[in-house]
């Protein structure tokens, strides 16, 4: 069921959590990344398009980290949730253009999860960016990262504060499906027993076959459906 009022309330609750965790999370980020000029707050995630998200059958995408965010972006309120909403409605722009494969793959994966009856051979040649509006989205690193994930990311991703915040996000969103985009080990480290469906995908920018990744997604959804079906 899509209810924009419910979705807006969920995002508001998430915003409160991010504000509450700002100082604690930034302290861990500063320690790990040795960034002596951190932003004024952590980034903000959640339901990307409140007009599209089905909160009763929610899909949560968990990715690694985002680069390209400056202190001025944070201070001016250019935060991930609204930025990605703009991408959904207006297409790739700014630093999203530097990583188009990532967003195209996520869009294909979401499209297939929402409509698993479509032929994946056709989907592999499509670029359904608006489909991303049907998910909630978060990063393990809630601030920013480097151009490549290194030891700093690993330390922050496996820290207690990252686990605490991730569990709070999931408690509020209550997703039925978790789509791990190169973050399966981090997710299972912090949440070893998730009652819904967990999908293990590679980093969406990986140099892998589009069709091969869709075949992996198909197989995992099929196995999940068999597991959940009554005997």
What is the tens place of the pLDDT at every residue in 177-192? 999 999 999 999 999 9
Predicted confidence (pLDDT) at residue 9 exceeds the cutoff of 80: yes
* Mean predicted confidence (pLDDT) in 10-17: 98
Q: What is the pLDDT of residue 78?
A: 92
At residue 92 the predicted structure's pLDDT band, cuts being 50, 70 and 90, is confident
- Measured CA to CA, the distance from residue 130 to residue 48 in angstroms comes to 10
pLDDT at position 145 is 85
Q: What is the mean pLDDT of the chain?
A: 93
Task: Report the pLDDT value the prediction gives residue 229, as an integer from 0 to 100.
Answer: 53
Looking only at the bridges linking them, the beta strands covering 136-139 and 197-201 are: unpaired
Q: Which of 217, 220, 210 is nearest to 121 (CA)?
A: 210
Per-residue pLDDT, averaged over 203-225, amounts to: 94
Per-residue pLDDT for 230 more than 60? no
Rounded CA Rg of the chain: 17
Distance CA 153, CA 155 (A): 5
Residue 128 CA: distances (Å) to CA of 30, 72, 134: 37, 31, 11
With CA atoms as reference, report the closest residue to 80 among 110, 47, 43.
Answer: 43
């Amino acid at each position: 069921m899509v209810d924009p009022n419910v979705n807006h309330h969920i995002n508001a609750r998430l915003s409160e959590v991010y504000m509450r965790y700002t100082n604690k999370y930034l302290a861990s980020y500063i320690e790990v990344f040795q960034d002596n000029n951190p932003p004024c707050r952590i980034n903000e995630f959640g339901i990307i398009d409140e007009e599209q998200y089905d909160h009763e059958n929610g899909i949560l995408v968990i990715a690694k980290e985002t680069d390209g965010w400056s202190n001025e972006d944070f201070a001016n309120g250019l935060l991930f949730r609204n930025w990605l909403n703009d991408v959904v409605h207006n297409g790739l722009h700014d630093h999203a253009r530097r990583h188009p494969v990532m967003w195209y793959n996520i869009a294909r994966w979401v499209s297939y999860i929402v409509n698993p009856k479509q032929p994946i051979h056709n989907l592999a040649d499509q670029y359904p960016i608006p489909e991303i509006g049907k998910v909630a989205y978060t990063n393990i690193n809630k601030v920013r990262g480097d151009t490549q994930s290194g030891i700093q990311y690993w330390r922050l991703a496996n820290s207690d504060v990252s686990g605490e915040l991730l569990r709070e996000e999931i408690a509020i969103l209550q997703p039925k499906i978790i789509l791990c985009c190169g973050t399966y080990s981090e997710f299972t480290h912090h949440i070893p027993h998730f009652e819904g469906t967990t999908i293990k995908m590679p980093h969406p920018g990986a140099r892998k076959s589009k069709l091969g990744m869709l075949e992996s997604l198909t197989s995992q959804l099929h196995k999940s459906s068999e597991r959940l079906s009554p005997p």
